[in-house]
Amino acid sequence: MKQELEANLLSPLPVVLVGAMVGGRPNYLVIGYISPFDFGRYVFFSLYKKRYTRIGIQENRTFSVNIPSENLLAEVEICGTKSGRDVDKGTLFETFLGELETAPMIRECHINMECEVAEILDYGQNEGIIGRVIKSYADPECVVDGKLDMRKVHPILWATGGDFNYYRLGERIGEEEDSADQQEADADPEH
């Protein structure tokens, strides 16, 4: 017999740092509830309306998604517990800008994406932010033969559904190169 749990068990999820310019200063917060959407062309995440970062997302209609590695756990703790209203979180990292110019990205994160707001869904105390991915960046040491190798990124995984602890990525168990291309093609019927 299975045990029924009152939880959304779609887990684990990667911890990301979402960045926005608030009053001309970069601000970063931890987002756990985030997902690729429309076969990766968009990202979709949950944002409480009270978040300081929301001010910048509303103002500029842009934001960034940065994937911190395990070595940034202390900074993640700060970005996930302290508000930009009280702490200048822009000083924790070196910020760089890309094409959009208003989506601050974190140099210390191996992976960065700049996004443009496509739609905002009103969910009471929360909003669902849908952003179109405009450009993606990776540190060269994480790229092998022109492709991202996730084993070099060391992302922090967050278990939801009642666990709520951080984990690290395990070993690669699938076949290499060709099958990865095939799996991507299978996942998106348009390609």
Q: Which chain residues interact with ligand FMN by CB under 6 A?
A: 15, 27, 29-33, 46-48, 51-53, 80-84, 158
| CB-nearer residue toward ligand FMN: 123 or 149 | 123
Q: Locate tokens 């009280």: which residue?
A: 86
Min separation Cβ 99 and ligand FMN, Å: 24
Give the nearest distance from C-beta 32 to ligand FMN in angstroms: 3
Question: What one-letter code names the amino acid at 62?
Answer: T
Supply the minimum distance, in Å, between the C-beta of residue 31 and ligand FMN: 4
According to DSSP, residue 33 is labeled: S
Contact indicator for 104, 24 with CB cutoff of 8 Å: no
Length of the chain in terms of residues written = 191
29 or 103: CB nearest ligand FMN: 29
Region class of 154: left (phi > 0), else alpha (psi between -120 and 50), else beta: left
Burial of 115 (0-12, 13-18, 19+ CB in 10 A): buried
| Cβ closest to ligand FMN, residue 52 vs residue 93 | 52
The nearer residue to ligand FMN, 118 or 157, going by C-beta atoms, is 157
Name the minimum Å distance from CB 182 to ligand FMN: 32
